[in-house]
Amino acid sequence: MPRLSCWFIRAALIYLTVGITFGALLLFHKGIPFAPFVWRLLPVHVEFLLFGWTVQLAMGVAFWIFPRFWRSRGNETPAWLAFGLINLGVCLAGLGPLLGAPSLVILLGRLAEAGAAAAFALHIWSRVKPPGAQIA
C-alpha cells in the first residue's frame, strides 16, 4: 500500500472511532437524557463520519488501487494536497460549531473540503481508464 493511502486510511480510522463514539453518546442521550450539551456533538459526528471517514477512506483506497501507468501513479502532488485539505476542512467544519467559532470558519472548512474533492479528481482523472488503455 502506498504511503499516502496509509495516511488517508489511518486518518479515516481515527475519525471513525471518534465519530462513532459521539454517535453512541447521542443515541444514549436520546434514550436516557443525561447532558443537553451532547446535542452539540451532532455536527462533529456528521462531519467526522461523512467526510472524515467515508470520503477519506474512499480516497485512500482509490489512490492505492486505481490503474497505474506502468509503475507510476502519475503526479501525486494534487492527491497529497487533497489529503491536507480534507483534514483541514473536516476539522474546521466539524469542530467549528462545537467550539462556537464564527460561521466564516465553517465556510472555510467547506471550501477546503470542496478543494480536496477538486484536487483528488485532478489526480485520479487520468487513472480512470479501461484495461490496456494508453496513458491520457
Among 10, 30, 75, 107, binds ligand HEM (CB under 6 A): 30
Q: Which residue has the cell 453512541?
A: 24
Query: How far, in whole angstroms, is CA 18 from its chain's centroid?
Result: 13
Binding residues with ligand HEM: total (CB under 6 A):
13
- Footprint of ligand HEM on residues 7-26 (CB under 6 A)? 20, 23-24, 26
Minimum CB distance to ligand HEM, residue 73 (Å): 27
Among 46, 105, 108, 117, binds ligand HEM (CB under 6 A): 46
Q: Is 93 in the site for ligand HEM (CB under 6 A)?
A: no
Encoded one letter per residue, x for contact with ligand HEM by CB under 6 A and - for no contact, window 53-92 reads xx--------------------------------------
Answer for the pair 56, 8: CB distance below 8 angstroms, yes or no. yes
Q: Is the dihedral of CA 9, 88, 124, 19 positive or negative?
A: positive
- For residues 115 and 108, what is the distance between their CA atoms, to the nearest angstrom? 10
Whole-Å CA distances, 96 to 15, 21, 91, 99, 106: 16, 19, 7, 5, 6
Binding site for ligand HEM (CB under 6 A): 20, 23-24, 26-27, 30, 42, 45-46, 49-50, 53-54
